[in-house]
């Protein structure tokens, strides 16, 4: 293979990636600015709140409870190697609140909400519903994007908070029912060990991940190609991008909050 051609291909890929970053960045700024500029669409916002927040509760709850339970079992088994089984409540708490709660909720939201937003908006685009909105003097960014982004920004931190509590509860149930921990001591250790910064970081991560999930869904939906293939591609790309950006943002925010 010609090395110059390979280098050219690599250059084109990097330029294309940078261009996409730029377009997503401009789209994000535009979407956020429309949250503050009238007209507002309260009905669409309420529907988005229900879809993003309320209807995500079951999947978030189940993800958190199983993860919390598995975490307790892992820490107990790992800790037993150096007689540190007693740290289960503290590590479950810190693991859920700082990392697993926000990341897993973020990823579940990317799977459930980003895909749904992208598919819905992309379908609206290919069936000319977005053009119809424009002809009805309705700005698609205000009507479709702003309510979804605002709803995700508000509800995902709440979901993360709920996921944290349910995850800790999962660990508590496993620890007290299967591993012989005292219930009162377990709760005492959990509460005493957590710091305000742990909880704040968890909620900030939730807000950031909610923003990423909604914006990626809207961006790929609005920029979908034609036909069923275009909708499929938009949905797939939105979830992939949201998941990767959530993991990258998690790394950055962890560094910001907890770098020594």
Partner 1 sequence: MIRMENVTKAFGDNQVLQGMNLEIPKGTSMVIIGGSGTGKSVALKCILGLIKPDSGMIYVDGKDATKGDRDAFLARFGMLFQGAALFDSLPVWQNVSFRLLRGPLKRPAEYAREIAIEKLRRVGLKSDVADRFPSELSGGMQKRVGLARAIAAEPEIIFFDEPTTGLDPIMSGVINDLIREIVTEMGATAMTITHDMSSVRAIADNVAMLHGGVIQWTGPVSQMDASGDPYVEQFISGSAEGPIEAVR
Identified binder of partner 1 from the candidate list 30, 131, 177, 195, rule CB under 8 A: 131
Question: CA-to-CA distance for 160 and 200, rounded, in angstroms?
Answer: 11
Nearest Cα to 63, choosing from 164, 155, 151?
164
Report the site for partner 1 in 110-129 (rule: CB under 8 A).
Answer: 123-124, 127-129
Nearest Cα to 30, choosing from 130, 118, 138, 139?
139
19 binds partner 1 (CB under 8 A): no
Shortest distance (Å) from residue 137 CB to partner 1: 5
Q: Could you tell me which stretch among 69-77, 130-138, 146-154, 173-181 binds partner 1 (CB under 8 A)?
A: 130-138
User: Can you read off the two tokens belonging to residue 242?
Assistant: 């949201």
Identified binder of partner 1 from the candidate list 14, 134, 183, 244, rule CB under 8 A: 134
Cβ distance to partner 1 smaller for residue 127 or 178: 127
Nearest Cα to 47, choosing from 178, 155, 187?
155
The DSSP secondary-structure symbol of 128 reads T
Under rule CB under 8 A, how many of the chain's residues touch partner 1? 15
Element (H, E) at 34: helix 3-36
83 binds partner 1 (CB under 8 A): no
Cβ distance to partner 1 smaller for residue 32 or 126: 126
> How many residues belong to the chain?
260
Identified binder of partner 1 from the candidate list 20, 74, 90, 138, rule CB under 8 A: 138
Question: CA-to-CA distance for 250 and 230, rounded, in angstroms?
Answer: 30
Residues of the shown chain interacting with partner 1 in the complex, contacts defined by CB under 8 A: 39, 41, 47, 123-124, 127-129, 131-132, 134-138
């Amino acid at each position: 293979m010609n090395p110059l051609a390979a280098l050219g291909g690599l250059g084109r890929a990097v330029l294309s990636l940078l261009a996409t970053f730029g377009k997503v960045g401009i789209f994000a700024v535009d979407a956020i600015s429309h949250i503050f500029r009238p007209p507002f669409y309260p009905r669409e916002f309420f529907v988005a709140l229900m879809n993003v927040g309320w209807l995500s509760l079951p999947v978030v709850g189940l993800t958190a409870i199983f993860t919390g339970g598995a975490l307790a079992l892992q820490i107990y088994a790992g800790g037993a190697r150096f007689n540190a089984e007693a740290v289960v409540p503290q590590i479950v708490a810190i693991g859920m609140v700082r990392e697993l709660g926000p990341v897993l909720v973020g990823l579940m939201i990317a799977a459930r909400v980003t895909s749904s937003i992208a598919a819905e908006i992309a379908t609206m685009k290919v069936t000319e519903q977005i053009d119809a909105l424009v002809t009805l003097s309705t700005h698609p960014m205000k009507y479709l994007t702003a309510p979804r982004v605002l709803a995700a920004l508000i509800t995902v931190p709440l979901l993360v908070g709920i996921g944290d509590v349910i995850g800790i509860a999962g660990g508590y149930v496993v620890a007290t029912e299967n591993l012989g921990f005292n219930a009162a001591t377990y709760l005492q250790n959990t509460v005493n060990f957590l710091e305000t910064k742990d909880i704040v970081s968890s909620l900030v991560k939730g807000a950031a991940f909610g923003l990423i999930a909604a914006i990626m869904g809207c961006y790929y939906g609005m920029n979908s190609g034609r036909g069923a293939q275009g909708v499929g591609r938009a949905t797939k790309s939105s979830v992939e991008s949201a998941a990767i950006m959530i993991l990258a943002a998690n790394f950055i925010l962890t560094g910001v909050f907890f770098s020594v």
